[in-house]
Amino acid sequence: MAKFVKWAAILLAAFLLLLAGVAVALQHWVRTDDFRARVEQQASAALGVPLRFGRLSVDLWPLPAVAADDVVLQTRPALSVGRVEARPEWSGLLARRLEIATLVVRKAVLPQAGIAALATAMQKRDKAAPKRVAPAAPEEGPSVVAFPRRALLDDITWIDEKGQRLTVHAEADLGEDGMLERASFRILQGRFAGTQGSIERKGEQWPLRVDIGGGRIVGKLYLTAGKAAGTQVLHGQFNTDNVEVSALTAPSKVLSGKLQAQTSLRSEFREIGHVADTMNTQTRFTVRDALVDGIDLQKAVQTVGLSRGGTTRLDTLAGQVTTQGKAVHLSNLVATSGSLSASGNVSIAASKALSGRVNVDLASTGGALGVPLVVGGTLDEPSVMLTRGAMVGAAVGTLIVPGAGTAAGATAGDKIGETLRGIFGK
346 and 232 part of one domain: no
Q: Are 216 and 209 in contact (CB under 8 A)?
A: yes
Compute the distance between CA of residue 30 and CA of residue 412 in angstroms, rounded to an integer: 81
150 and 245 part of one domain: no
321 and 384 part of one domain: yes
307 and 422 part of one domain: yes
Paired residues of 313 in beta bridges: 291
Final residue before a domain boundary, out of 160, 185, 213: 160
**Per-residue confidence (pLDDT) for residue 301, from 0 to 100:** 66
Name the phi and psi angles at 319, rounded to 5. Answer: 165, -165
Residue 376 placed within a domain: yes
Residue 10 placed within a domain: no
Residue 139 placed within a domain: no
Final residue before a domain boundary, out of 276, 306, 335: 276
Compute the distance between CA of residue 114 and CA of residue 78 in angstroms, rounded to an integer: 6
**Per-residue confidence (pLDDT) for residue 191, from 0 to 100:** 86
**Per-residue confidence (pLDDT) for residue 389, from 0 to 100:** 38
188 and 93 part of one domain: no
Final residue before a domain boundary, out of 221, 247, 276: 276
Residue 170 placed within a domain: no
Taking alpha carbons only, the member of 215, 208, 213, 154 closest to residue 182 is: 208
**Per-residue confidence (pLDDT) for residue 375, from 0 to 100:** 80
Residue 251 placed within a domain: yes
**Per-residue confidence (pLDDT) for residue 153, from 0 to 100:** 94
Q: At 21, which helix (H) or strand (E)?
A: helix 2-30
262 and 319 part of one domain: no
Residue 135 placed within a domain: no
203 and 98 part of one domain: no
Domain that holds residue 201: 177-276
Paired residues of 264 in beta bridges: 237, 282
pTM of the complete model beyond 0.85? no
For the chain of 426 residues, list the mean pLDDT of each consecutive stretch of 10: 56 53 50 72 85 81 77 92 84 61 92 89 76 50 62 94 92 88 95 93 92 94 88 92 88 85 92 83 91 78 64 87 86 83 84 82 55 76 60 36 39 38 35
Residue 182 placed within a domain: yes
Polymer length of the chain: 426
Number of folded domains that form the chain: 3
**Per-residue confidence (pLDDT) for residue 70, from 0 to 100:** 92
Compute the distance between CA of residue 364 and CA of residue 321 in angstroms, rounded to an integer: 31
**Per-residue confidence (pLDDT) for residue 194, from 0 to 100:** 92
Residue 70 placed within a domain: yes
